[in-house]
Structure 1
Amino acid sequence: MNDVIDVKARETRKELPNGSGFAAPQADAAALQRADGLKTVGWISYLLHLIVAVAAVVPGFQVSIALLIVAFVIDLVKKDDAAGTWQESHFSWRIRSVVWAGILYLVTSPLFLLLLLPGMLAWAVVSIWFLYRIVRGMVAMNDNRPVGV
C-alpha cells in the first residue's frame, strides 16, 4: 500500500525555493485563514451592495445610502489586503461598480429632474446594470474565481 498518496498532505506542504525542505504548515494555515477572512469580508460587502441594488430596482423598497457607503469603505480599506490574490479583482470590481453607478446617476439626474419619465428610465437602466454587476461578482466569488477576467 505504498502507492497511496496523501493528497491533502502534499497540498499543505510547499517546498522551499532554495531546496532546503518544506515550509511550515503554519504558514499555509495563515494564508488559508487570510483567504477565508478576505472571502468573508467580500461576502459582507457583496450582501450590502446587493441590498442597495435590489432597493434601487424594486419600487418602494428604499434603504439608506449609508449601507452603500459602508460597503464602499470596507472595500477601500481591505483592497490592499487582497493584493496578489484572486480576490483582488472582486474588491476592484465592487469599487468600480459603485463609482460608475454614482457617475451615471449624477449624469442622468438632470433628466430625472426635468423630464420625469426619461429620468426614471435612465435610473432604472443604471440600477439594473448595478444589480447585474453585483450578482455577477457574487457568482464568481462563489466559484472561487476572479471576476471580470
Structure 2
Amino acid sequence: MANDIVNVEPDDSLKTWGWVSYILHLIVAIGAVVPGAQASVLLLLIALVIDFVKRDDAAGTWQASHFSWRIRSVLWAGLLYIVTSWLWLLLFIPGWIAWSLISLWFLYRIVKGMIRMNDSRPMEPKDVI
C-alpha cells in the first residue's frame, strides 16, 4: 500500500495552482475581448486569491515571477479600467476603444505567461509591466 502513494513535488503543486489561475484569468480575458461572452468577475477574484495565497509558497522558485505577473496584470488592468471609465460618460466609442485595448493587453499578458509557464520558464525582469 505504501507504494501506491504518489509523491507530488512542491513545484508540481505550484505549477498546478499556476495553471488553475492562468485558466481562470484566460476565461475572463477572453470574455472581456469577445462581445457577449462576459465571464464573471468572480472567476477573476478566485484567481487573484489563489495568486496571493500561493505567492509565498513560490518564493525562490522560477514560478514566483508568474504569481507576481498575474497579480500585476489584474491590478494594472483594474487601474486602467478605472482611469478610463470617464470616457464612457463622454461618448460610447472612446470608452469602448479604451476598454478594448486594455482587454487585449490583459489577454496578451495571460497568453504570454501561459506560454512561458508551459516551457517552465520564469517571467523575465523586463516583463515586469
How does the TM-score come out when normalised to structure 2?
Answer: 0.90
- Which residue of 114, 131, 136 corresponds with 2:107? 131
- Which residue of 95, 106, 110 corresponds with 2:71? 95
Consecutive aligned runs of 4 or more in structure 1 exceeding 6 Å deviation: none
Query: In the aligned structure 2, how far is the partner of 1:113 from the partner of 1:55?
Result: 23
Query: In the aligned structure 2, how far is the partner of 1:148 from the partner of 1:115?
Result: 38
- Residue deviations 1:21-78 (CA, integer Å, cap 9, x gap): xxxxxxxxx7x61000000000000000000000000000011100000000100000
Task: Summarize the alignment of residues 59-74 of structure 1 with structure 2, pairs less than 5 Å apart.
Answer: 59-74=35-50
Q: What are the ranges of 5 or more consecutive residues in structure 1 without an aligned counterpart?
A: 1-29
Partner of 2:3: none
2:111 maps to a residue whose letter is V
Give aligned-pair identity as a percent: 66
- Residue deviations 1:92-136 (CA, integer Å, cap 9, x gap): 000000000000000010102321100000000000000000000
Query: In the aligned structure 2, how far is the partner of 1:99 from the partner of 1:74?
Result: 14
How does the TM-score come out when normalised to structure 1?
Answer: 0.78
Partner of 2:22: 46
1:147 deviates by 1.3
1:110 maps to a residue whose letter is W
Tell me if structure 2 keeps the 8 A contact 1:93–1:147.
yes
Taking only aligned residues, the RMSD between alpha carbons, in angstroms, comes to 1.4
Tell me if structure 2 keeps the 8 A contact 1:93–1:148.
no
Query: In the aligned structure 2, how far is the partner of 1:88 from the partner of 1:36?
Result: 13
1:137 deviates by 0.1
Structure with more contact order per residue of length (Cα contacts < 8 Å, sep ≥ 6): 2
Total equivalences in the alignment: 120
Task: Summarize the alignment of residues 11-50 of structure 1 with structure 2, pairs less than 5 Å apart.
Answer: 33-50=9-26
Q: What are the ranges of 5 or more consecutive residues in structure 2 without an aligned counterpart?
A: 1-6
Task: Summarize the alignment of residues 77-92 of structure 1 with structure 2, pairs less than 5 Å apart.
Answer: 77-92=53-68
- Which residue of 116, 122, 126 corresponds with 2:98? 122
